[in-house]
């Protein structure tokens, strides 16, 4: 089975789908790996490292895509590349199926088996393949470093002969994978951390990291069977804003990570809340790419409000630590392939009655097979 790893085409994308260590392990399983020349350069994985791991380096992108049995990417393929793959081959990456109906249609038409990494089920068995989590974890870490760098103050308490500096106050809104890592990182840097999530079940996790859970009584909220948040009613949204405004006003850094799977992110920090915040405080909006949690945040721009609050809306924050982000994603892909690898036939078993494949395979055999997208 021949696997091709093309370079990512978006300028802001610094990651690569496979790193040399995973190449070596896949070659050990019996796969043939081809890597586009320079694919790992932005995350400091060099062509020579791939060659040493057993890959072949190629500059013929179009030819390799057409010949590959499987193409591994971070992002979705272009329309042209989606139709250039041969029938029966695999296309794996973050395909954004909720917003990419036309692309999904093209992949189906081409007879490609398309795997959407964001659809890997949130189950114990599939945890090792969960790219959404491995990347969110690093984004949460890097969000704190970005905020600390833009804040004109330090995070830890410092007692010196010249006087005492109080710890910075960090407020994390949304305590999923990214939020938990943001809390842990801010705590490690010495900040005093508050956190809020609409799912009350996370209170214990927040406390176990030494942070304070902000209690806002929203009535019935709940979560989906995959552990995702449900959307709040308009009344609940107003109650949430009122409860959080006070915490925002006393925070130096606010990090928002609130997402609603497959839908636009909720607008949480509005202009009124921003206007109550301290001059020089920093807000990082991790949901900027899916609609934004913060009013006025712009993708990959720093917006300064009239009262001097800096809003950082950085997309794909995990690209700030691209070497490790690639390492984690690459391990997710290795685990996926290894889990379904049939050593005898040297192919991947594609039985859609398997719970993991049923969750993440979107197209196969000429049609859209995922129940959520098949119309
Ligand atoms: P996510 O990225 O979808 O959302 C981030 C957080 O924002 C969530 O905790 C969500 O509850 C919260 N949120 C949504 N709307 C909000 C609002 N209006 N105000 C405040 N917070 C709001 O979440 P995620 O990081 O993908 O994690 C979702 C869940 O899945 C979590 O419970 C996580 O622990 C769980 N999970 C399980 C597994 C597994 O079992 N293998 C793997 C990863 C995540």
Q: Indicate the fold that domain 138-320 takes in CATH.
A: Rossmann fold (3.40.50)
Q: Which pLDDT band, with edges at 50, 70 and 90, does 370 fall under?
A: very high
Q: What is the pLDDT of residue 119?
A: 97
Domain coordinates in residue numbering, the chain: 2-130+321-368, 138-320
Q: What is the pLDDT of residue 287?
A: 96
Q: What is the pLDDT of residue 231?
A: 77
Q: What is the pLDDT of residue 261?
A: 85
Tell me the per-residue pLDDT of 287-297, one tens digit each, with 9 for 90 and over.
999 999 999 99
Please determine, for the modelled complex, whether the ipTM score is greater than 0.90.
Answer: yes
Q: What is the pLDDT of residue 129?
A: 98
CA dihedral of residues 170, 173, 175, 178 (deg, nearest 10): -70
CA distance 317 to 50: 26
- Sheet of strand 212-213: strand arrangement: 212-213, 192-196, 169-173, 253-256, 282-285, 310-313, 301-304
Of these residues, 37, 58, 75, 127, which one is catalytic? 127
Q: Which pLDDT band, with edges at 50, 70 and 90, does 13 fall under?
A: very high
Tell me the per-residue pLDDT of 241-274, one tens digit each, with 9 for 90 and over.
888 999 999 999 999 999 888 889 999 999 999 9
Residue nearest to atom 28 of ligand 1 (CA): 228
Residues ≥6 apart with Cβ < 8 Å to 29: 337, 338, 341, 343
Residue nearest to atom 3 of ligand 1 (CA): 259
- Does residue 340 contact residue 357 with C-beta atoms inside 8 Å? yes
Residue ranges in 151-202 assigned as alpha helix (H): 177-188
Write down the architecture of domain 2-130+321-368 according to CATH.
3-Layer(aba) Sandwich (3.40)
Q: Are strands 90-93 and 253-256 parallel, antiparallel or unpaired?
A: unpaired
Element (H, E) at 66: helix 61-67
Of these residues, 133, 240, 297, 364, which one is catalytic? 133
- The whole-number average pLDDT for the span 26-54 is 97
Q: What is the pLDDT of residue 239?
A: 85
Q: How far is CA 350 from CA 114, 232, 325, 363, in A?
A: 11, 38, 27, 12
Distance from the alpha carbon of residue 179 to the mean position of ligand 1, in angstroms: 8
Of residues 323 and 239, more confidently modeled: 323
CA distance 206 to 241: 20
Q: How far is CA 310 from CA 68, 172, 174, 204, in A?
A: 46, 16, 20, 31
CA distance 313 to 284: 6
Q: What is the pLDDT of residue 311?
A: 98
Q: Which pLDDT band, with edges at 50, 70 and 90, does 230 fall under?
A: confident
Q: What is the mean pLDDT of the chain?
A: 95
Half-sphere exposure of 49 (CA within 13 A, CB side): 14
Q: Which pLDDT band, with edges at 50, 70 and 90, does 222 fall under?
A: low
2-130+321-368 and 138-320: identical CATH topology: yes
Residues ≥6 apart with Cβ < 8 Å to 135: 318, 325, 328, 329
139 within ligand 1 shell (Cβ under 6 A):
no
Q: What is the pLDDT of residue 85?
A: 96
- The whole-number average pLDDT for the span 98-118 is 96
- The whole-number average pLDDT for the span 142-170 is 97
Q: How far is CA 89 from CA 8, 93, 111, 195, in A?
A: 19, 14, 8, 44
140 within ligand 1 shell (Cβ under 6 A):
no
Q: Is the pLDDT of residue 233 over 90?
A: no
Q: What is the pTM of this model?
A: 0.94
Active site residue 59: no
Q: Is the pLDDT of residue 327 over 90?
A: yes
Residue nearest to atom 24 of ligand 1 (CA): 176
CA distance 28 to 69: 17
């Amino acid at each position: 089975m021949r696997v091709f790893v093309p370079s990512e085409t978006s300028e802001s994308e610094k990651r690569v789908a496979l790193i040399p260590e995973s190449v070596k392990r896949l070659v050990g399983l019996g796969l043939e790996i081809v890597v586009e020349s320079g694919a790992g350069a932005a995350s400091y994985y060099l062509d020579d490292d791939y060659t040493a791991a057993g890959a072949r380096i190629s500059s013929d992108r179009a030819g390799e895509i057409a010949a590959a049995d499987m193409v591994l990417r971070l992002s979705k393929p272009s329309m042209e590349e989606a139709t250039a793959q041969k029938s029966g081959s695999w296309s794996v990456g973050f395909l954004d199926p909720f917003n990419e109906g036309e692309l999904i249609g093209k992949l189906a038409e081409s007879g490609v088996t398309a795997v959407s990494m964001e659809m890997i089920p949130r189950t114990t068995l599939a945890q090792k393949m969960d790219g959404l989590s491995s990347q969110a974890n690093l984004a949460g870490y890097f969000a704190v470093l970005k905020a600390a760098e833009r804040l004109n103050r330090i995070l830890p308490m410092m007692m010196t002969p010249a006087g005492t500096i109080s710890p910075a106050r960090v407020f994390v809104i949304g305590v999923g994978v990214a939020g938990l890592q943001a809390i842990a990182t801010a705590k490690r840097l010495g900040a005093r951390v508050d956190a809020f999530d609409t799912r009350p079940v996370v209170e214990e996790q927040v406390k176990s990291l030494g942070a304070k859970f902000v209690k806002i009584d929203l009535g019935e909220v709940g979560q989906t069977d995959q552990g995702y948040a449900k959307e709040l009613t308009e009344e609940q949204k107003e109650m949430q804003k009122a409860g959080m405004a006070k915490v925002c006003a006393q925070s130096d850094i606010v990090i928002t990570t609130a997402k609603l799977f497959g839908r636009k992110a909720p607008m949480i920090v509005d202009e009124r809340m921003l206007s109550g915040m301290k001059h020089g405080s920093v807000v990082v909006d991790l949901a900027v790419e899916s609609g934004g949690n913060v009013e006025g945040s712009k993708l990959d721009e720093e917006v300064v409000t009239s009262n001097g609050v800096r809003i950082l809306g950085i997309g794909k924050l995990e690209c700030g630590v691209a070497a490790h982000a690639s390492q984690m994603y690459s391990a997710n892909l290795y685990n996926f392939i290894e889990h379904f690898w049939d050593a005898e036939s040297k192919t991947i078993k594609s039985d859609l009655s398997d719970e993991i494949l049923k969750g993440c395979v979107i197209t196969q055999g000429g049609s859209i097979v995922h129940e959520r997208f098949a119309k």
